Amino acid sequence: MDFLHALIVFCNFVAVPALAYGSQLALGALGVTIVFGILRFSNFAHGDTMAFGTMVAILATWWLQSQGIGIHPLPTALLALPIAIAATAALLLATDRLVYRFFRSKRSPPVIFVAASIGVMMLFHGLVRLIIGPWNQRFSDGERFIVSAREFKTATGLNEGLAIKTSQAITAVVAVAIVAVLFWFLNRTKTGKSMRAYSDNPDLALLSGIKPERVVAICWVLTAALATVAGVLYGLDKSFKPFTYFQLLLPIFAAAIVGGLGNPVGAIAGGFLVAFSEISVTYAFKKVLGYVLPEYLAPDGLAQLLSTDYKLAVSFTILVITLLIRPTGLLGAPRQ
Amino acid sequence: MKIRDPAMFIFAAALIAAVGFVQSWNVALSILNMCLVSAIVALGVNLQWGYAGLFNFGIVGFVAIGGVATVLVSAPPVQDAWQVGGGRLAVAAAIGLATLALASAAFLKIRPGRKRMLSVAAILAVGLFAYRSFFDPAVEAIESIEPARFGYLGGFGLPVLLAWPLGALLAAGAAYLIGKVALGLRTDYLAIATLSIAEIIIAIVKNEEWLTRGVKNVIGLPRPVPYEIDLQNSEKFVSAAQSVGIDAVSASSLFVKLAYSGLFAAVLAILYCMSQLAINAPWGRMMRAIRDNEVAAAAIGKDVSGRHLQVFVVGSAICGLAGAMMTTLEGQLTPGQYNPLRFTFLAWVMVIVGGAGSNRGAILGGILVWFFWIEVEHIGAIIADNLTFWLGDESPLRQHVMDSVAYMRLPTMGLILLLMLRFYPRGLIPEK
Amino acid sequence: MKVISGRQMTGGYGGGDIISRCEIEAGDNQIVVIVGPNGAGKSTAMKALFGMLKLREGTVRFREEDITDLEPQDRVALGMAFVPQTRNVFETLSIEENLEMGAFLRKEGVKAAIDKVYDLFPALLEKRLQRASALSGGQRQQLAIARALMTNPRLLMLDEPTAGTSPVVMNDIFRHIRKIASSGIAIVLVEQNARLALEIADMGYVLVEGKNRYSGTGADLLANADVRKSFLGG
């Protein structure tokens, strides 16, 4: 019984949140990894791309709410997603046209692209703060819980509750759907295959008649969709704040790199690895240990390895260990 | 040197003078002082990026280390805090070091495999437990000493100018450790690694209240220059001010700012001369050779990773020095202000605007970019005002636009960076 | 009618000219071989035909049409195919996906074309769902040629297809090249193994320092004492 209680506490505070957070990171990392696979540079503007997409979704949500349109018990933001994705895609395509395409035509080295993505990052970050402000925004409406801790307790008669937030369930469902569609696109459609071919060997892709500019455009549209969905899911689950989204860049990069930059499956695995590590290292295991350990061994302190203030240290450690031991990532990059 | 280069410096000086005439000389001098500090940061970044091609995105971390050094050196020690926590902290530090030593010894001695992994993990776990059992109560005790005023260990109460070399030294130490681990990574990986390390340093500065008071700030740090109130009470100063025709209060404030300007300009001049000497020496030529072709340089026997580490440490030390100067100028440590967007990426804009690889360019970039960083708000407000005045003060659009001006800085800097990369990729004063 | 004809081709990569006044032609069903010592500009001459080298002077015509200013990818659409010497397959894609990518520009008949290529290279059919990186050296070259054939070319150009392969594989590749030529596709081939290549050549060009030194049918060149002495090792 105690073991069951420990398991429920663990699921409630570690496993379920980490699954949701991991899905959000995985979607973010997929965006980073696709840009790297096609354009061969690390896109530092990705966090702020997520922020932009989420901002549009919030604005659209407000508008829909003002019109009395909603899909209760689901959050209105889901309805706003297509609008947000379209706006973000337009922004990224315009950015590519005005910024990156020039450097591509000059065959600039990757560092120039990284520097340009820094400029784009500052531009996007400023744009978002300009439009919606730097503050925290909560835009989750609809039902808060699918299963609340209290309902769980009364239903099972146990002492501990397992709560599942609507946002967590939505995250899981949407992430699975998006990943399924993405992999179907990459592995089953001609356009998707041509993107993999271009990522593998751009020169040979050219010799096969694949048009680079088309591949790049599709790459940005995919990135816009992934970034917006990841950002909206994260915002629904927690809240939206431009600076937080900028900081998300670090766990997202850690996830993409640990899985092998350019490798979509790796990005997903990396997302969950980073999320589970971060949450379990910063979670106070006092209660869990209290159930499983005999009384005289039960910890006095919180049994927390690291304060949540230092959660970035977890991504960083994973990042550095990967880079030092296996720079191509756990699942190996497709090239080099 | 072309005629264009000094002309651009004169232009920068004219901009600051214009602020003096239009706004006030107090504002102009404040901007000038931060321009000088920015120029120093830009020199450090230029050393790493311009001369060695290293992506250091951890600048804000080294600046923050410099700030902490200022507190450690100049703040008066909090005796009670030392008494209740000092001993246990020392024990905790000893345990921590011993654990690391033991773990690395085990890692080296035992052959790879499960046995090694388990024993290293066991040593780390036991060590962490022991460390925390001393560290946590010590921190709690220290932070409970008059939390409103102290709640931290304080510093050593030494003259604040000592903090400048110490800030550089601490930043150099941190850079050495980081460089040992992260250098040798591909460029963009190094950028990501340093970016996250800086975030961790900032997290430490914000959260380890026993050391820095965290977001409660350390205020009232001593100054290397006189206090305004002392000047106003000095008859000699008052009469001197009257003879120039300025009232004593504004004269004292101008005098203090000018004194800082003098100190900062001296440091900048020394660093500039040293950078120029270094860059024109065989060392500088070797650095550029490595930057331009690492493989070839390694092939002719240059110690690429050693040189990289060296330049990474020196450049970061300069950032630490600048951080200490900045905290000294402000007279207080405010960890909440350390934001990568403001420090790290702005420094990058400075170097790219000025011209990577050129010391004069870095200084010019530092001055110009800081100037616009501050003045964009004013300029933006004037433009926005003129663009929207016809809407009337009640218009929500006008209000939103006027409020938004406060956020104009970042996008402007992003835009400047992109325009420079595209149209002047070699910067305003290109490398020769 | 000449399938391809490069006339007075002169140019290089930025620096000096690598080829000068170089002439290469191929007719229908012909196998044309370019040989010569190292650094003679053989590969460069072929790349010039394919538009991967900007010509300073000279023209390239494909089936009478002037294509001198066309980008390589546009030449692919016209019916020219190119097999690079290295990195000539999509390693992370399956065999079949490699072939599909070869047929990227085709609107229809992809399935039939793939079946035709499998007939020519049965070894590929067996491994059709495996990644290209799993192939042996010889099969890899087969796949590289097969991918190029999928573009439905009138002209197939191969850059040293036998470099670094064993004699057995080499013979196999030449056998396939002849088969392809007999199906109505002109072939331009750059080769190190001059003797073997000239044996199957309808036409041969010997380049030295970027200029045509000798040209003639494969048999003529093999019989020419000078060519034998200088380039075929006696």
Tell me if residue C2 falls in helix, strand or coil.
strand
Q: Give me the interface pTM, i.e. the ipTM.
A: 0.91
Of A119, A122, A312, the CB nearest to B203: A312
Alpha carbon distance A223, A100 (integer Å) = 15
- Return the residue of C nearest to A196 by Cα: C93
Residue in A193, A201, A209 closest to C77 by CB: A209
**3-class SS of residue C22:** strand
Distance, in Å, from the CA atom of A148 to the CA atom of A164, rounded to the nearest integer, reads: 6
Task: Give the helix/strand (H/E) hosting C206.
Answer: strand C203-208
Alpha helices in B48-162 (DSSP H): 59-74, 79-81, 87-109, 114-143
Alpha-carbon torsion (C115, C117, C122, C126), positive or negative: negative
pLDDT at B405: 80
Three-state DSSP at C56 gives: coil
For chain A, the residues whose C-beta falls within 8 A of a C-beta of chain C are 190, 193-194, 196-197, 199-201, 203-211, 334-335
Which of these, B82, B93, B90, lies nearest to B145 by C-alpha position? Answer: B82
Q: Are B25 and B381 in contact (CB under 8 A)?
A: no
Give the pLDDT band of residue C113 (cuts 50, 70, 90).
very high
Q: Do C104 and A196 touch (CB under 8 A)?
A: no
Burial of B239 (0-12, 13-18, 19+ CB in 10 A): exposed
- C101/A201 CB distance under 8 A: no
- How many angstroms separate the CA atoms of B25 and A209, rounded? 65
Task: Measure the CA–CA gap between B76 and B155, rounded to whole angstroms.
Answer: 5
Q: What is the pLDDT of residue B111?
A: 86
Question: Which tokens go with A233?
Answer: 């899911």
pLDDT grade, residue C88 (50/70/90)?
Answer: very high
**Rg, C-alpha atoms of chain C:** 17
> What distance in Å separates the CA atoms of residue C225 and residue A322, rounded to the nearest whole number?
62
Q: B98 φ, ψ to 5°?
A: -60, -40
> Chain B contacts of A121, Cβ < 8 Å?
345, 414
**pLDDT tens, residue order, chain B (432 aa):** 567 888 999 999 999 999 999 989 999 999 999 999 999 999 999 999 988 888 899 999 999 999 999 999 999 999 989 989 889 999 999 999 999 999 999 988 888 888 888 999 999 989 988 998 899 899 999 999 888 888 899 889 999 999 999 999 999 999 999 998 888 777 788 888 899 899 999 999 999 999 999 888 999 899 999 999 999 998 899 999 888 888 888 899 999 999 999 999 999 999 999 999 998 899 888 888 888 888 888 888 888 889 999 999 999 999 999 999 999 999 999 999 999 988 999 999 999 999 998 999 999 999 999 999 999 888 888 888 888 888 877 888 888 878 878 788 899 999 999 999 999 999 999 987
How many angstroms separate the CA atoms of C47 and A224, rounded? 38
Q: Which amino acid is at A39?
A: L
Chains C and B touch (3+ CB pairs under 8 A): no
| Domain annotation for chain C: domains and CATH numbers | 2-88+153-225 (3.40.50.300)
Give the pLDDT of residue C234: 60
| Residue whose entry in the numeric block shows the structure tokens 């050693």 | B306
Against chain A, the chains showing at least 3 CB pairs within 8 Å are: B, C
Chain A within 8 Å of B280 (Cβ-Cβ)?
Answer: no
Mean pLDDT (chain C) is 91
Question: Which of A104, A122, A132, A241 is most worth mutating to test chain B (most B CB atoms within 10 A of its CB)?
Answer: A122
B348 close contact with A: CB closer than 8 A: yes
Q: Domains in chain A, start-ordered, CATH in brackets?
A: 2-325 (1.10.3470)
Nearest Cα residue in chain C from A200: C90
Interface of B with A in 156-185 (CB under 8 A): 181-182, 185
Digit-coded pLDDT (tens) for C188-210: 999 988 888 999 999 999 999 98
Question: Does residue A335 have a pLDDT over 50?
Answer: no
**What is the reported pLDDT for B1?**
55
pLDDT in tens, C120-148: 999 999 999 999 999 988 899 999 999 99
Given a contact cutoff of 8 angstroms between Cβ atoms, the answer to whether C73 and A213 are in contact is: no
Mean of all residue pLDDT scores within chain A: 91
Tokens found for residue B379 = 């300029």
Contact C1, C63 (CB under 8 A): yes
Q: Which residue of C has its CA nearest to A194?
A: C101
Q: Provide DSSP, chain C.
A: -EEEEEEEEEE-SSSS-SEEEEEEEEETT-EEEEE-STTSSHHHHHHHHHTSS--SEEEEEETTEE-TT--HHHHHHHTEEEE-SSS-S-TTSBHHHHHHHHTTT--S-HHHHHHHHHHH-HHHHHTTTSBGGGS-HHHHHHHHHHHHHTT--SEEEEESTTTT--HHHHHHHHHHHHHHHHTT-EEEEE-S-HHHHHHH-SEEEEEETTEEEEEE-HHHHHH-HHHHHHHS--
Q: Which residues of C touch A199 (CB under 8 A)?
A: 92
| DSSP 8-state code for residue B55 | -
CA distance C219 to chain A (A): 33
DSSP assignment string, C120-148: H-HHHHHTTTSBGGGS-HHHHHHHHHHHH
Q: Is B283 exposed, middle or buried (0-12, 13-18, 19+ CB in 10 A)?
A: middle
For residues B164 and B267, the answer to whether their CB atoms sit within 8 Å is yes
Sheet hosting strand C19-27, strand order edge to edge: C19-27, C2-11, C57-62, C65-66
Contacts of B189 in chain A (CB under 8 A): 42, 257, 323, 327
Per-residue pLDDT at A315: 86
**Which two tokens mark A304?**
């927390």
Query: Cβ contacts of residue C128 below 8 Å, gap of 6+?
Result: C94, C95, C96, C118
Q: Which of A49-58, A77-86, B283-292, B316-325 has the least mean pLDDT?
A: B283-292
User: What does the pLDDT average to over A128-156?
Assistant: 89
pLDDT of residue A324: 74
Q: Which of B195, B348, B411 sits opposite A123 (nearest CB)?
A: B411
The reported pLDDT for the residue numbered A332 is: 60
How many residues does this entry show for chain C?
Answer: 234
Type of residue at A288:
V
Interface of C with A in 63-122 (CB under 8 A): 72-73, 76-77, 81-82, 84, 87-93, 97, 100-102, 104-105
Q: How far apart are CA B279 and CA A105, in angstroms?
A: 33
How many distinct helices (H) and strands (E) make up chain C? 10, 10
pLDDT score recorded for residue A336? 38
A202 Cβ contact list (under 8 Å, min separation 6): A212
